[in-house]
Amino acid sequence: MEHFARLLKESWTLVESDRERLSGHFYARLFLLDPELRTLFPAEMSGQGDRLLEAIVTATQTVDDPESFDEYLRALGRDHRKYHVDPAHYATMGVALMDALRSTAGDDWNLEYDQAWRDAYAAISAKMMAGAENDRNPPFWHGEVLTHERVGPDTAVLTCRALQYPLPWRAGQYVSVEVPRYLPRVWRTYSVANAPNDDNVLEFHVRTPTGAGWLSGALVRRVRPGDLLRLAAPMGSMTLDRSSTRDILAVAGGVGLAPVKALVEELATYNRTRWVHVFYGARRPADLYALPGLRELVEAHPWLSVTPACSEDPDFDGERGAVSDVVTRYGPWTNHDCYVSGSARMVRATLRALAEDEVPPSRIRYDTFGNL
């Protein structure tokens, strides 16, 4: 297995710096092999298109740890049902991937590399197909927007009800979202900001700093109550371990508060014994949109404390600085279960702080949507 993983990583270095060419070749080949596949992708390919290749490559690079990535790949397979991907498509994608790798790598590509990628792709696609096949849920749910509130110039909190079928997510997980009316076939992941409930209602917190994020832009600025969304495949491992008796540290940056709020709501249904400390960082006080709701939860639950922090307001009447630094000031957190949610850089900084406190990695849960 070590040799196999080394071959994959070594060969990846031949194409890594030429991602654009790899991606261009992959999609050109894919659509030539099966022109029908083009209809599964959005009209505007930049950004979205790369996600497929990205997912394949990420999975291939993690093949040396098959146990821990088994569930990830199955979930990815379940998630891909929303694109109406079938087993024949997986075979076509494999051919396009191999062609793209060979032509981008050039003369240094060899037979050993070729075999390693073919084996890796076969293993990954088999797991993804198994995940898709065993999924009893629909490929996606329709969700009707119930409420939409602008809580800042760039930020919205919205709720929607999944229609027809129950949507079984766990507190802390994320789902894929599409807004067919404005951006058909463009899917992005968002953490669900509330705990599962009998009403099948999901809450999302979305922020889009000026100019960034098509889908987030539509969710913040265009979506209205009554609009239909599509939701797919709950994923992610930032979930509660109910068997643990350790106290909890949750660190959230900006709208990274969403999954943390869901976890706290879930804890409110059964916790009596674990202290739960939430650190909630934002740039300015006006960005702490969720603070009033959190304060209500603190009033209701004696085991909960919330510490807000502002990183860009030297006059803030509370903790100042990046939330990762603030957490360090309150530590050590060595004996806590830790949850971290925010931008990739915020997560990285917080993981470093927790490593200094010697928190065992197995007690830290996080999901990032960007590369760490």
Ligand X SMILES: NC(=O)C1=CN([C@@H]2O[C@H](COP(=O)(O)OP(=O)(O)OC[C@H]3O[C@@H](n4cnc5c(N)ncnc54)[C@H](O)[C@@H]3O)[C@@H](O)[C@H]2O)C=CC1
Decide the pairing of beta strands 276-282 and 248-253: parallel
Residue nearest to ligand X (CB): 254
Rounded to 5°, the CA angle 154-346-53 comes to: 80
Which residue, 25 or 207, has its beta carbon nearer to ligand X? 207
Which residue, 176 or 311, has its beta carbon nearer to ligand X? 311
CB of 258 to ligand X, least distance (A): 5
Cα separation, 86 vs 147, in Å, equals 35
CB of 213 to ligand X, least distance (A): 9
The answer to whether 236 touches 168, Cβ cutoff 8 Å, is no
The three-state secondary structure class of 251 is: strand
CB of 9 to ligand X, least distance (A): 26
Question: Which residues have CB under 8 Å from 210's CB, separation 6+?
Answer: 154
CB of 180 to ligand X, least distance (A): 22
Cα separation, 340 vs 322, in Å, equals 14
Give alpha helix (H) positions in 34-110. 50-61, 66-80, 87-105
Cis bond leading into 332, ω under 30°? yes
Distance linking the first and last C-alpha atoms of the chain = 24
CB of 309 to ligand X, least distance (A): 6
Cα separation, 279 vs 193, in Å, equals 16
Nearest to 367 by CA among 190, 208, 245, 202: 190
Which residue, 117 or 279, has its beta carbon nearer to ligand X? 279
Which residue, 159 or 191, has its beta carbon nearer to ligand X? 191
Question: Which residues have CB under 8 Å from 289's CB, separation 6+?
Answer: 151, 152, 155, 157, 205
φ and ψ at residue 270, rounded to 5 degrees: -145, -15
Which residue, 9 or 345, has its beta carbon nearer to ligand X? 345
Which residue, 30 or 294, has its beta carbon nearer to ligand X? 294
The answer to whether 341 touches 252, Cβ cutoff 8 Å, is yes
- Contact residues for ligand X (CB under 6 A)? 191, 207, 253-256, 258-259, 281-283, 311, 322-324, 341-343, 345-346, 349, 367-369
CB of 325 to ligand X, least distance (A): 7
CB of 104 to ligand X, least distance (A): 29
Which residue, 24 or 152, has its beta carbon nearer to ligand X? 152
CB of 218 to ligand X, least distance (A): 16
Which residue, 167 or 206, has its beta carbon nearer to ligand X? 206
